[in-house]
Amino acid sequence: MSQLLKGKTALVTGSTSGIGLGIAIGLAKQGANIVLNGFGDHHVAQTQIEQLGVQALYHGADVSKAKDIEDLFGFAESNHANIDILVNNAGIQYVANIEDFPVERWDSIIAINLSSAFHTSRLALPYMKKKNWGRIINIASAHGLVASAQKAAYVAAKHGIVGLTKVTALENATSGITCNAICPGWVLTPLVQKQLDDKAKAQGISNEKATEQLLSEKEPSLQFTTPEEIGELAVFLCSPAANNVRGVAWAMDGGWTAQ
């Protein structure tokens, strides 16, 4: 097995499930130690990572809170886990027209999907600068590049994180620190399963039919991207071949944003 990232430590926010877990496993397979974060049961994820022969720490910071993120970095430091690779992945969704959008949902989507990446980046960069090496990967979305109705907060946050990615890349452009965004289309995770369940319920159709509709509305390939595929793209962005890939928003969306 290749050990491209042996000796590095990666923090992946929201890595107890879905895409974050797929990325954590992808990086761990390359020898990176992992700091897991997210809600729900973390033991399964932690065991999966440890079985790959690397260290898996866990901190349950609520990344909507700057103070929790500071605690997470303090925890990593006290465990000698200095963050070489930062993957800002934690995210939530809520679907409603703007006039019906609950204010607290707007605030929490902006906090979790956007502001958290500012806080983690500001805390990770000083250490990366000392080493003159670092990777920041922001998990945006096809919704970082184009919009859909009823997703005001999500689309605003994801467009915002694409902007933050470019600024972070530019501020570090002459260093060994790169920052890029990955923009997935549909990935079948708990976040999307909820949207499928809601769609099936609202229209009185089967889950299979709802899946068919969801994919054909947006994604020309008619296929979900998998967390494993996104993990492999993250590994590439951490590799020496990607030393000069800076500030891109890399769509992995079955052709969604090519239309």
**Exposure of 43 by Cβ count < 10 A (0-12 exposed, 13-18 middle, 19+ buried)?**
exposed
The reply to whether 67 sits near ligand NAD by the rule CB under 6 A is no
Q: Closest approach of Cβ 245 to ligand NAD, in Å?
A: 19
Q: Closest approach of Cβ 8 to ligand NAD, in Å?
A: 21
What is the per-residue binding string for ligand NAD in 177-196, x denoting contact by CB under 6 A?
-------x-xx-xxxx----
106 backbone dihedrals φ, ψ, rounded to 5°: -55, -50
- Asked if residues 214 and 256 have their Cβ atoms less than 8 Å apart, the reply is no
The reply to whether 120 sits near ligand NAD by the rule CB under 6 A is no
Nearer to ligand NAD, 131 or 234 (CB): 234
Of the candidate residues 30, 64, 121, 180, the single one contacting ligand NAD (CB under 6 A): 64
58 annotated active-site: no
DSSP code for 23: H
Nearer to ligand NAD, 52 or 68 (CB): 68
Q: Please tell me the distance from the alpha carbon of residue 142 to that of residue 155, in angstroms, as a whole number.
A: 9
**Rg of the chain taking only CA atoms, in angstroms:** 18
Q: Please tell me the distance from the alpha carbon of residue 251 to that of residue 115, in angstroms, as a whole number.
A: 22
The reply to whether 19 sits near ligand NAD by the rule CB under 6 A is yes
Q: Please tell me the distance from the alpha carbon of residue 99 to that of residue 212, in angstroms, as a whole number.
A: 29
Residues in contact with ligand NAD by CB under 6 A are: 13-20, 37-40, 62-64, 89-92, 112-113, 139, 141, 184, 186-187, 189-192
